[in-house]
Amino acid sequence: MIEYKRIYHSHIRKCAGTSFNKLIIGSYSTQEDSVRDEYYSLICKNQFQNINGKIFAGFSSPQVISSGNYFYCWSHTPFWSFKLQPDTFCITNFRDPLERLLSHYSMIKQYYDEKVNHPGMRIDGKWLGESKTFMEFIGNMPKSEKLAQLYHYSKNYSIDEAIENISKVDFIGRVETLTERGYDALKKIIPQLNFPNEHLRKSKKQNISQVEIDYAKELLEEEYKLIKRVEFSY
């Protein structure tokens, strides 16, 4: 068990972060879906929410993150762009780079197909282009999104710099093993996080050709090198 004043989730996109955030919200409210989801929506809308006397903050700016004026906070903000207050327990998760990109595309393509009015469609929806294929999607993505795991920890896409920043994180999980081992490992460190080992959000799988997969893997070579060097917490 550790001593800490707050928890910060360094949330890389499409790395089980939404599930993670909702489960932690549930630890301090209830794991009943409707209540937990309502709290999550309020945090997304207002950026702050008091839950049983604890301040939760989401999608926060570097200034909010650095202030430490919260109990639990998450953000896609790159880790190199702010400094955490002392006594902050930091969490992050990594994912197979190809699977992360496939998940991102599947989510946006599903939103498009089902005409979901999600805020992410304002920007990410444009990456679908004319053909709406995975190939065009990743071709239109900015580098900071294609290599989001590397960029999250290095502005210059430097693997060495990223590893140095990642070494400052207290708990490093891997999406592929979170429900089997990762959540249990975290709960041993912070017993208050008494959530069930669940993955709450999955997108509909899309048809992806082998040619597209091979093309994506070439683009992701640096991220695969990064993942091989990350020291996971379990």
Tokens for 116, please give them: 């979901």
Tokens 């902050």 locate to: 88
Q: What angle do CA 150, 196, 95 make, to 5 degrees?
A: 15
Mean local confidence (pLDDT), 184-208: 88
Report pLDDT digits (tens) over 56-108.
999 999 999 999 999 999 999 999 999 999 999 999 999 999 999 999 999 99
Can you say whether the dihedral through the CA atoms of 201, 71, 66, 90 is positive or negative? negative
3-state secondary structure the chain: CCCCCEEEEECCCCCCHHHHHHHHHHHCCCCCHHHHHHHHHHHHHHCEEEECCEEEEECCCHHHHHHCCCCEEEECCCHHHCCCCCCEEEEEEECCHHHHHHHHHHHHHHHHHCCCCCHHHHCHHHHHCCCCCHHHHHHHCCHHHHCHHHHHHCCCCCHHHHHHHHCCCCEEEEHHHHHHHHHHHHHHHCCCCCCCCCCCCCCCCCCCCHHHHHHHHHHCHHHHHHHHHCCCCC
Average confidence (pLDDT) over 7-17: 97
**In this model, does residue 222 exceed pLDDT 80?**
yes
Asked if residue 227 has pLDDT above 70, the reply is yes
Confidence of residue 205 (pLDDT cuts 50, 70, 90): confident
Residue written as token pair 């946006």: 108
Does residue 164 have a pLDDT over 80?
yes
What pTM, to 2 d.p., does this model score? 0.94
Per-residue model confidence as pLDDT tens digits over 122-135: 999 999 999 999 99
The stretch 206-234 carries a mean pLDDT of 97
Instruction: Report domain extents, the chain.
Output: 6-229
Amino acid of residue 159: I
> Hey, what CATH topology would domain 6-229 get?
Rossmann fold (3.40.50)
